[in-house]
Amino acid sequence: MPRLEFCTIKIRDFKEYRGQHVLELSELGFGLQYMRGENKVDAIGSNGAGKSSIWDAFLWCLTGRTTRGMRGTDVRTWGGDEHAKVSVGFYNDEGWHWVKRSTEKNGLWLDGKLTSQDEIDRTVGLNITNIPHTILLGQKRELFFDLQPSKKLEILSETLGLDIWDVRSERAKKKARKYEDKMLEVEGVLKQMTRDLESLRETLEDQQRMSRDWEQERSQGAEARDKTLKGLKKSRETAVTEMGTHDLAYDGSETELRAVRRDILKKQEDMDAILDRLSKARAKRDAARADLERLKELASSDTCPTCGQKVADKTKHAAHAKAALKDAKHKAAIASDRVIVRETEKELLRDVIVRMRDSEKDFANKSDDAKDKLDHLKAHIADIDKQIAVLKAKDRSEETNPYEETIRKTRTLIKNAKTGINEAKDLLAIMSRRHVRTKYWVDGFKQVRLYLLQELLMELQEVTQNILPDVGLAGWIVEYDIEREKKDGSLSTGLSVKIMKPGTDKAIKWEAWSGGENQRLLIVGALALSEVLVRHAGIECDLLVLDEPTRHMSREGVSDLVEHLIEIGREKQIWYCDHQVVESNRFANVVTITKDGHGSQISIA
C-alpha cells in the first residue's frame, strides 16, 4: 500500500504566528506526541496559545480551508497586513514534495510550480472531505457520530467512490426512458404500418375484383363484337352480291342507251351535270339535317353546342343552344331549298330529254335506278367496312388487362409493408430486451452501491468493536445501519449509529443517547472511521492529529484514551493536543506552544 509521510510544516504570518515557524515532524518520529499550550497574554490558561492554528495552517495549505472553513484573508497575521504563507513537505511513492500556499493572489505551488487544487488532491491522495475525518480530527468540529445521518453516509460514499453507482443508476434510468420513448415511437409506427397493410390488402381485393369484372366484361364484349362482326360480314357479302346484280343491270342499260345518247350527247351531259349538283345538294341537306338533330340532342343536355364541353351555367348554355339551333334550322332550310331547285332543274331538263327521247325513257330509268342503287350500296359497304375496322381496333385495345400493372404494384407495396412490419417488430424486440436489461441496472447499480456500503460498514463495525475495550468501554456495542424510511413514510438514506451499553438489551440511537461516556464514544467512532477511510483511500499515512479530544471526559477516560493512542502510535505519529494537563511518562515528545506579546512560539521539550 502506498505510504504517505508528512515531514515538515512551515508557517509564516499565519493567525497568531508572526514571522516564520517550523515544525519538523520527521525529527520527532513515531509515537504519541503531546502538544500543550501556554498563553502569557490572555488570562485564559492554555487556551488561545495557538495549538489548533498549527493544524489549521496544515489543513489550509493542503486544501485551502481551515478546520472551521476559513480561507483567504481570514488567515492573515492577526493585527498585521502580512500575507500568510504555509508550506508542507511530505513523501509518497513518487518521492519528496512541497506544497506551498499564500494569501497573496491565492497562490498555490507544488514542487515550486504553480498548480491547481485537483493536482494537490491527486498527489496527496486525500482532500478537504476526508482529511478532517482521517488524519486531522480538528478542534470544535463535529466528529463522525455527531454528523447528520445523511452526512455520515456521504463521507463513506465519497471514500469508496460510491456516488458513481448512483450516477450509473441515473444514467441507466435515463437510457431506459429513452428506450421506452423509442419503443412507443416504434409501436406507433408499427400500428400505422399495420393499418396501411390492411388498407393495401383491401385495395388489392378491390383491384382483383375489378380485374375479374373487366375480364368478364371483355369476354362478354368480345362475344357481342364477334356476333356483330359476323352479322356485318354477312351484310357486306349480301351487299356485294346485290351490287354485282345492279352493276350488271347498269352496264346493260348503259349499253342500250349509248346508241340513243350519241344523238343527244349534249343534253345528256347537261343532265349529268344537273344530277351531280343534285347529289351534292342532297348530301348538304342530309348533313344539315344531321347537324340539326345533333344540336337538338345537345340542347337537352348540359353540354355546350358550340365547344362541346360540360357547362355549369345552364342559362348561358340555353342561349348558345337556341342560337345554334336557329342557325342550324336556317342552314337546313337553305340546303332543302337548294335540293328543290336542283330537283326542279332536273325535272325541267328531263322533260326536254323526254320530249327528245321518249323511246329511250325506259333505258334511262333503268340506268338511273341501277346507278342510284350502286351508289347506295357502295356507301353502305363503306359504312360496314368502317364498323368492322372499329370493332377490330377495339378488340386489339382490350387485349391487355389495365388492372394487371396496378395489382403488381400493390402486391409489391404489400411485400414491402410486411418486410417493414417484420423489421419494426425485430427492432421492438431488440429494444424491449435492451430496455429490460437497462431497467434491471437502475436498481442493480443501487444494489451494488448498497452491497459495497454494507461491506464497509461491517469493516467499520469490526474496527469500532476492537477499539472500544482499549478505551475502557469493554462490553459496549456500537451498531451501524442504513436508514431508508422516515417516520412519515417518505424515503430517505442515511447512516444510523446505535449504542448498546452492557447490561441492557436494547440499542439506542446516538441522537437519543445521553450517557457520560459520550466523548469516549465520539473518539472511538472518529478513530474507527479514520482507520477505515485511510485504508480505503489506498494509502498508509503516518500522521494522526486529535485536537482537544477530551472535552467533558473523565480522568479515567483520558487515561484510557492516552494508553490506546500510545499503543497505536507504535507505527505512526499521533498528536494529542489538549489544554488540560495530562500526565504520562510514555509520551514520545512534548511540544509546547507559548503565546506572548510577540505571537506564538513552538518549543519541544
Q: Measured between alpha carbons, how far is 494 from 149 in angstroms, rounded to an integer?
A: 4
Question: What are the backbone dihedrals phi and psi of residue 507, each rounded to the nearest 5 degrees, phi first?
Answer: -80, 140
**For the ranges 137-146, 379-388, 459-468, which has the lowest average pLDDT?**
137-146
What integer pLDDT is reported at residue 150 of this predicted model? 87
Is residue 154 predicted with pLDDT exceeding 60? Answer: yes
Give the DSSP H/E element, type plus range, for residue 18: strand 17-24
Task: List the grid coordinates of 318.
Answer: 340555353
Is residue 491 predicted with pLDDT exceeding 50? Answer: no
Q: Cα dist. 392→218, 228, 382 in Å?
A: 13, 11, 15
What CATH number does domain 265-356 carry, 1.10.10, 2.40.128, 1.10.287, 1.20.1740?
Answer: 1.10.287
Q: Measured between alpha carbons, how far is 205 from 296 in angstroms, rounded to an integer?
A: 44
Q: Within 10 Å of residue 36's Cβ, how many Cβ atoms?
A: 20
Q: Cα dist. 132→230, 378, 533, 550 in Å?
A: 117, 127, 11, 17
Amino acid letter, residue 142: E
Q: Is the dihedral of CA 200, 202, 208, 210 positive or negative?
A: negative
What integer pLDDT is reported at residue 80 of this predicted model? 67
Q: Measured between alpha carbons, how far is 591 from 601 in angstroms, rounded to an integer?
A: 10
**Higher pLDDT pick, 217 / 168:** 168
Taking Cα atoms as reference points, which of 160, 108, 31 lies closest to residue 586? Answer: 31
Is residue 30 predicted with pLDDT exceeding 70? Answer: yes
Is residue 114 predicted with pLDDT exceeding 90? Answer: yes
357-365 CB contacts, 8 Å cutoff, 24+ apart: 357/260, 357/263, 357/264, 359/260, 360/257, 360/260, 360/261, 363/253, 363/256, 363/257, 363/260, 364/253, 364/257
Question: How buried is residue 489: exposed, middle or buried, by Cβ count under 10 Å (0-12/13-18/19+)?
Answer: exposed
Instruction: Find cell 364477334 and name the residue.
Output: 226
What integer pLDDT is reported at residue 90 of this predicted model? 95
In sequence order, the 6+-apart residues with CB closer than 8 A to the CB of 491 are 484, 485
Q: Cα dist. 557→242, 438, 518, 569 in Å?
A: 151, 54, 11, 18
Instruction: Find cell 332543302 and name the residue.
Output: 336
β-strand partners of 594: 38, 601
Q: Measured between alpha carbons, how far is 137 from 380 in angstroms, rounded to an integer?
A: 129
66, 54 Cβ separation under 8 angstroms: no
In sequence order, the 6+-apart residues with CB closer than 8 A to the CB of 35 are 51, 54, 575, 576, 577, 578, 590, 591, 592, 593
What integer pLDDT is reported at residue 489 of this predicted model? 41
Is residue 54 predicted with pLDDT exceeding 70? Answer: yes
Per-residue pLDDT band for 49 (boundaries 50, 70, 90) equals confident
pLDDT in tens, 230-289: 888 888 888 888 888 888 888 888 787 777 767 677 777 787 888 888 888 889 888 888
Q: Within 10 Å of residue 267's Cβ, how many Cβ atoms?
A: 16
68 alpha carbon, distance to own chain's centre = 48
Q: Measured between alpha carbons, how far is 64 from 118 in angstroms, rounded to an integer?
A: 11
Q: Measured between alpha carbons, how far is 575 from 46 in angstroms, rounded to an integer?
A: 17
What integer pLDDT is reported at residue 142 of this predicted model? 79
What integer pLDDT is reported at residue 266 of this predicted model? 78
In sequence order, the 6+-apart residues with CB closer than 8 A to the CB of 551 are 519
What integer pLDDT is reported at residue 67 of this predicted model? 82
Say what the pTM is.
0.60
Q: Measured between alpha carbons, how far is 5 from 582 in angstroms, rounded to an integer?
A: 27
Q: Measured between alpha carbons, how far is 118 from 63 in angstroms, rounded to an integer?
A: 10
Q: Measured between alpha carbons, how far is 123 from 439 in angstroms, rounded to an integer?
A: 38
41, 54 Cβ separation under 8 angstroms: no
221, 398 Cβ separation under 8 angstroms: yes
